[in-house]
Amino acid sequence: MILNVSSRCDIPAFFPEWFINRLREGYVDVRNPYYPKKVSRIILNKEVIDCIVFCTKNPIPMFKYLNYLKEYSYIFFVTITPYTKIEPNVVSKRRILSSIIDLSRAIGSKRVIVRYDPIILNDNYTIEFHEKAFNAICKILKGYVDTIIISFIDTKKNTLNNMNELNLKPITDEDVYEIAKIFGKIAKDNGINIQTCAEKYDLSEFGFINESCINNKLIKSVTKINKKYRQSKQRENCRCIQTVDIGSYNCCSHFCKYCYANYDEKSVLKNMKNHDKNSSLLIGHLKSDDIVSIKKRGVN
């Protein structure tokens, strides 16, 4: 089982103690986002977890818990972008860059993958702006990360709700190829592999690797387990392998204006108040009429 912590919310940034408590208890309960009364109980131990994938914009709160992860194989995907106002509660980018370097020194560059995601174009965030920002990030991270993954913004529900603040310009095919050419050269000059995430474009001519974010080769390199995991097919153009996500939607208070996992900030604030670090659920507690089913091996 590949444990996803989490593509639905930033557990490392906001709920690290809860996650460690779940590892200690040996299980976690996850509500079905579409049928809330249905709860999956996921067994957590080194016999069933092949690898833990942490997805975060701020790995710093996890640092003091790394000792608890010694018996597990794990990877960090750390997202860093050059935005400010549209990411109101993300800590300073200098701190994030510094934390990526510290994390790389602690666990190795192969286990720290950076995401420059999503790429947004508007009057402020031009191609020239992204060129300068990406160049600066790569220069700082040279030698500390092996791979950077990029993607272009999707117009999800929450993105549409924040169109006035985002002031998006359509990203044309010509824009994509121009950015790819620039980014490919910058990555190569700094000895960093570059690839896309869930994009329809083949950018291999610009030095991009055609691979999914979470793939069999990556997991094998970290776990040394010779096992083939099924493809998830969660969204168009995504070729990632299946994972078990233990997060919940609407509980990340970074409040990024382009986020697909938050679509109601009032619900986020309410959910954050209902978090209990000792609960088996990320948000709230089990109810008497919940239907709990035990899944020892997740989906794999």
Whether 290 is in a domain gets the answer no
**Domain assignment present for 163:** yes
- Domain membership of residue 106 (yes or no) is yes
Q: What pLDDT is stored for residue 73 in this prediction?
A: 97
- Domain contains 226: yes
pLDDT at res. 208: 97
Q: Is residue 119 part of a domain?
A: yes
pLDDT at 157: 61
Q: Which residue has the tokens 């509660």?
A: 89
Q: Which residue is listed with tokens 């990340």? A: 252
Which residue range is the domain that position 59 belongs to? 2-285
Predicted local distance difference test score (pLDDT) of residue 232: 79
Question: Taking each helix axis from N to C terminus, what angle separates 93-107 and 127-141, rounded to the nearest 10 degrees?
Answer: 40
- Asked if the structure places residue 143 within a domain, the reply is yes
Per-block mean pLDDT, blocks of 10 residues, the chain (300 long): 96 98 98 95 96 98 97 97 95 97 97 97 97 98 98 77 84 97 98 93 95 92 92 76 95 93 90 97 97 73
pTM: 0.95
Residue 207, in any domain of the structure: yes
294 assigned to some structural domain: no
pLDDT the model gives residue 70: 94
Residue 300: the pLDDT is 37
